[in-house]
Each structure stands twice: as structure tokens, then as C-alpha cells.
Structure 1
Amino acid sequence: MYTFQQQIERIRDGKGFIAALDQSGGSTPKALLGYGVDENQYKDETEMFQRIHDMRSRVITNEHFSSDKILGVILFERTMKGVIGKEPVPSFLLNKELVPFLKVDKGLEDLSDGVKLMKPIPNLESRLKEAKDLGVFGTKMRSVIYENNAKGIAAIVKQQFAFGLEILSCGLIPILEPEVDIHAKDKAEIESTLKKNIRLELDKLSKEQAIILKLTLPTVPDFYKDLVNHAKVIRVFALSGGYDIETANTLLEKNKGVIASFSRALLNDLKQQQSDDEFSTSLSHAIDSIYKASIT
């Protein structure tokens, strides 16, 4: 079993990528539909979440889903509380030498000032304690930027860091994810404004504090190089943001030191109807390609 320090070193220095298996209530039907399970195949929310848990279990238990190419896994809260066989999911991952993270945000507010802030996160401290007791290493929370609005972007970054500090105080490592919408007409300008605000907040962290960033693949290659090398940044992850796997991997290869934290791009070719061999082959191809792009 990893120690906390070994997990930090694994995430900071390891070769591989992060698997994002954290689709929540709102995105679960879409994720299931992509897997070949439509809404007629479950009668209520309980069955829906069982279906998504079965899918994730099929992925996690596959022989190709291993620490050779995967560093960690981001979990939805119900998945974290679930079991594979009789073993809690975080323990199962740790025994495979995979670092577990928990998605903690509760979705997005309505659009305002060109961004969608996170909704309040109730009972965060107690949820973090439960996660830590289960062996979870860190957290992830997402907000989204749609326009180059200085007020909105500053608010996004300040909110991310405020929650990040609370998470650090509870002994977990936060992944801050201020996503830039890939369809934004002024995407490059947004990224410039975003980076300036991130640097301002990083400079406020104490000597002992460090975070992980999860950012949209930038318009300009290596645009986040200074963040990759920043003393307060453990690692920079990239989200696929709706790009298909080929596009996401091609863009990722242009950003040295950034590793993937893909969800749709990882899972898109997996189907419930596939035989075990077909499923395993599809998953293996996705893992191999994302791994290659993450270490190039």
C-alpha cells in the first residue's frame, strides 16, 4: 500500500496518465448512452448508478488498466463508496498501485460574467474526512470559462483556490480544474488571462502548500510550461474537453510535462455489448495511445 508521500512522488514524477471515471448524476445518462445503455434499460436513479458502477468496475478490473501506464483514477462519490467484489474501490485501486482521487464539486452555477462557477459544496469537511479514511489521496473540482471576461475568470480562480486551501487543510491534495471551453471564440486570450490569475494565487501559497492543475489543452503549444515548472504545482493534467482521442493526443504531445486526465477520450470506444476480448482490446488501444501522448 502506498504511503501519502509515495503517492505525491508517483503523481509528481511518474510516467503515465490519470483516468477520469467521475461522471456524476447529470452526466451519467450521457456516459451510459455512449457505452450503449439507453434510458430504457434502467428504471430509476439507483439502477442508473448501478449500471455506471458496473461499467467502471469492468474498466478498473481489466488487466490493461494497470499502474504500468496509469498513475491515478478520479472517482465519483458513489464509486468511492462502492465495492469491487467485497473490497472498497479506493483500496482496490491502491492495491493496483493506482492513486485515488475524488470529485467533490456539486455542479455548476448559471452563466455569469462569462463563466460558470461551482455551486456550493455542502458538508465538504466531513466528506473529505470520509474520503481520507477510505484511502483517497486527493480531490477534483471543475468550473468552466466561456468568455475572456476578467471579472469572471478572476472569480473562477479565486473560488478554485479557496476550496483548494480548505482541501489542503484536511490533508488531501486538490486538483483545481478551471476548464476553458474548447469552442470559445477567444480561447487563446482566455488562457492568457487565466494563467495570469493562476500565477497570482500560486504566489499566495505557503512554503508547505502545493496543488495540481487540470487545464484545457492550450491553443499555443507549451503555453503552460511555466506552470509545469512552478514550485507550487505538483503536476499539470490536461482534460480532453470534448476533443476526440486522436485530436486530444496530438495536442497533448505538443505540451511537454503535461499528462492526460481524460474521460470521454479514454472511454468513448467501450461498449456494453462488446465481448470481453473486444472490450479489452478497445481499452488497451485507448490506454496505449494516451500513455504515449503523456510521455512524449
Structure 2
Amino acid sequence: MERGNPMLDQEKLAILKNKKGFITALDQSRGSTPKALKAYGIPMSSYQTEEEMFYWVHQLRIRILESPAFDSEKIIASILYEDTVKREVAGLFTADFLWQKKGIIPFLKIDRGLDVEDKGVQKLNPITDLPDLLQLAKDYHIFGTKARSVIRRADEEGIRELVKQQFDLAKDVLAADLLPIIEAEVDIRSTEKGEAEILLKQAIKEQLALLDDDQYVMLELTLPKEDNFYADLAQDKHVVRIVALSGIYGREEATRNLAKNRDMIASFSRALLEGLSYEQSEEAFNSVLGTAIDAIYQASVSKDGN
């Protein structure tokens, strides 16, 4: 029998590996929050400071998390931003609300943004406060982490370096008894997307082969140019799940592409929030959110490629 990391919560690990559903990305950071708020109907003129900005986006997250449409029947896990983790929903810290009230597993975004492009990629900025972030995750009952890096061109050396950096970070996360999500996004707009994905998959295979038997990761990847391109990675004993980015795709296109890729489930942000508005009544808000959740769930579990 395959041996699992005894320090990981085996109940949550089994849910992530086997349960039908998808992951919601509620991890907008300093750079992406203004755009999300604007789409929701709250312009930058509505807030003057970063604290006010994060207050408003947390009100949006509270509305989402408390919605009856947002539950573990279709949602497996949610990725949170550091500020969100420290705030409360209905009298509980956000991660505790997710797990205790909704049965949804909380993850924490830990990257500090992207480095400048070099060799066709943008690797992670140095995470100088990594020990503090990992302790924060443990203190607030987070199960795992996510860090994002981006591939712009099909540069073999750059992609190999990016993937190695991601796996080196993953090993630090694993050492803290947390489950890492490795996010290596291939830019949807890249003219070399298909070639970059070939190099990315090979680099991931090389790094997976270096993991110990009881070390597990999740992979967060852009929907591939070739349907089912990453299906073989899902069979690797170290891979808990492969989740797909919606990127710049709208919900309709993102869900249509996802449905063609077996062994991938959604990790959507933009596609989840599409159509939500500050001015909507609770009934209208819950209806729009429910429609989004249903569409993303169906794309995650019903595969044309099977």
C-alpha cells in the first residue's frame, strides 16, 4: 500500500484526491484586487487606502462564502489571500469558517509576486518571510499553499529553472506539514504555448521523480493547447490532483475547454466571479453565483475526453 505523509490530515488529503468538484480561487492580492472590485461594481474612488480596499474585497468574499450556493457539494477547496485568512466570517476566522461550516478545505497563497522576465519566464520573487507565512498557515488551520509563476516563451532552460524553483519551495512547504500547489502558468497569449507546455511537462516529470514516496503535490496548470495533454501527470503517485487555471478566458470558454480535459478540475477565479455585482439583491447574487458554480462543477466532472 502507498504510504502517505503521516503529518498531513488524511481526511482532507482523501477529499482532495477523490472527491468530485472543483477549487475556488479567492486569493486576489494587492495587484489584482482593484480589478476584481471594479468588475463587482466598486470603483477605486470608493476607497482611499489599502486597508479600505481589503475591507471591500473581504465584504465580497463574505457574501460569496455565506451564500447557500457555496458549499462542499460542488466545491472541494478554496485558495485564500493572507489578508483574508486573518479576517473573520460569521465570527470565525475565514479558514475555520470554510472547513467547520462549509466542509471546504482552505489553502493560502504565499507567493510575493513575479520576478522580472528572464529566459522567457517569470519566476517567483524571493519569499523572504516564508517561515512566517508557513507558521501563519498552521496557526490559522490552513491545509496547503499556492505560489504562482508564469511561462511566456518556450525556453527550455528558463522553464526547467522555474519548475525547479517551484519544487524547491514545495519541499519547504512539505517540511512544514502542508500540501503545496505548484502553479506554473503558461501564458494563454503566448505564440509558443504548445511548445512551452511540452517543455513544462518534461520538467515537471523530472522533478516529480526526485520526490520521496510520501511527498505529495498538486499541480495548477493552464488549460493546454492539446486536449488531455497533462492526463499522464495525473497518474503519477506524487500528484494529488491537477487543477486548471481559467486565465483570461471568460466562463463559457474556460468551462468548454476544461470539459475536454480529463483528470483536470477547475481552480477558477475570474470565471467564478463573472456577473456578480455589488448592487444585486441577495436572491440575484446567489442565483448568479449558483449558476457559475454549477457550470464550473459540470465542466470539472463531466469530460468529453473520457
Q: TM-score range by the shorter chain?
A: over 0.9
* 1:143-182 alignment, distance < 5 Å: 143-182=149-188
* Cα offset, 1:231, TM superposition: 0.7
Q: Tell me what 1:85 maps to.
A: 90
What's the CA shift string for 1:229-272, capped at 9, x where partnerless?
A: 11110000000011111111111111111100000011021111
Q: In structure 2, which of residues 291, 300, 304 is the aligned counterpart of residue 294 of structure 1? A: 300
More displaced 10-residue stretch of structure 1: 83-92 or 10-19: 83-92
Contact 2:245 2:267 in 1 (8 A): yes
* Cα offset, 1:61, TM superposition: 0.6
What's the CA shift string for 1:119-139, capped at 9, x where partnerless?
A: 011221222122112110000
CA distance in 2, matches of 1:173, 1:180: 22
Listed as ranges, the gaps of 5+ residues in structure 2 are 1-7
Contact 2:183 2:219 in 1 (8 A): yes
Listed as ranges, the gaps of 5+ residues in structure 1 are none
Contact 2:99 2:105 in 1 (8 A): yes
What's the CA shift string for 1:174-211, capped at 9, x where partnerless?
A: 00001000010011110000000000000000011010
CA distance in 2, matches of 1:85, 1:291: 26
| Aligned-pair Cα RMSD in Å | 0.8
What's the CA shift string for 1:64-93, capped at 9, x where partnerless?
A: 100000000000000011101321111100
Q: Tell me what 2:30 maps to.
A: 25
CA distance in 2, matches of 1:130, 1:40: 32
CA distance in 2, matches of 1:241, 1:127: 26
Q: Tell me what 1:101 maps to.
A: 107
CA distance in 1, matches of 2:125, 2:297: 33
Q: Tell me what 1:36 maps to.
A: 41
SS of the residue corresponding to residue 208 of structure 1 reads coil
Q: Tell me what 2:59 maps to.
A: 54
* Cα offset, 1:152, TM superposition: 1.0
Are 2:225 and 1:219 aligned? Answer: yes
CA distance in 2, matches of 1:186, 1:110: 19
Q: Tell me what 1:45 maps to.
A: 50
CA distance in 2, matches of 1:122, 1:81: 20
SS of the residue corresponding to residue 41 of structure 2 reads coil
CA distance in 1, matches of 2:218, 2:73: 21
Amino acid corresponding to residue 129 of structure 1 in structure 2 = Q
Runs ≥4 in structure 1, deviation > 4 angstroms?
none
SS of the residue corresponding to residue 185 of structure 2 reads strand
SS of the residue corresponding to residue 225 of structure 1 reads coil
CA distance in 1, matches of 2:136, 2:203: 32
* 1:1-296 alignment, distance < 5 Å: 4-95=9-100, 96-296=102-302
SS of the residue corresponding to residue 74 of structure 1 reads strand
Q: TM-score, normalised by structure 2?
A: 0.95
Percent identity over the alignment is 44
* Cα offset, 1:106, TM superposition: 0.6
CA distance in 2, matches of 1:269, 1:214: 24
CA distance in 1, matches of 2:121, 2:260: 27
SS of the residue corresponding to residue 194 of structure 1 reads helix
* Cα offset, 1:12, TM superposition: 0.4
CA distance in 2, matches of 1:251, 1:240: 9
What's the CA shift string for 1:98-153, capped at 9, x where partnerless?
A: 00000000100111111111101122122212211211000000000010011111
* Cα offset, 1:286, TM superposition: 0.2
CA distance in 2, matches of 1:282, 1:148: 38
Alignment size in residue pairs: 294
Amino acid corresponding to residue 41 of structure 2 in structure 1 = G
